[in-house]
Amino acid sequence: MKAKHQRLTLALLAVAAIVGAGLLALSALKDRAAFFYAPSDVTPQTLPLGRAVRLGGMVEAGSIKRAADGVTIHFVVTDGRATTPVTFTGIAPDLFKEKSGVVAEGEFHPDGSFVATNLLAKHDEKYMPPELAGKMHETKTLQP
């Protein structure tokens, strides 16, 4: 085999190895990725059922209801255009309150409700997660 063909073969093998490694990495990340949604992004026809997602928005005023068991919380997340009912069982962050930003990790149910496994509350008056800030600027209906 000529040296030119040998170099071409090695280059093609290197490209194939890099593409294969990239595809393996993407397939491994597919199961771990949590997509971000605002309440207005989800319709009954486009519910992402059976996969981990993040729901972000503001906790609607007057919507926090605590169940008798002491650890289950029902509340509503809004982005100004739509609302989504959320249920969370566990210890909520200290900064979790009405009219504050929240990102809930969990999954949607067929009825459109969201069951959260983790809650993330904003840190201070000015901070908003970058994902949530982008969605809130798109709606242009909520004032900070």
Q: What is the pTM of this model?
A: 0.63
Partners of 89 in the β-ladder: 72
Separation of alpha carbons 137 and 142, rounded Å = 8
Regions of the chain where pLDDT drops below 50: 141-144
User: What 3-state class would DSSP assign to 58?
Assistant: strand
For the stretch 125-144, pLDDT in tens is 555 666 666 665 555 544 44
Separation of alpha carbons 47 and 128, rounded Å = 25
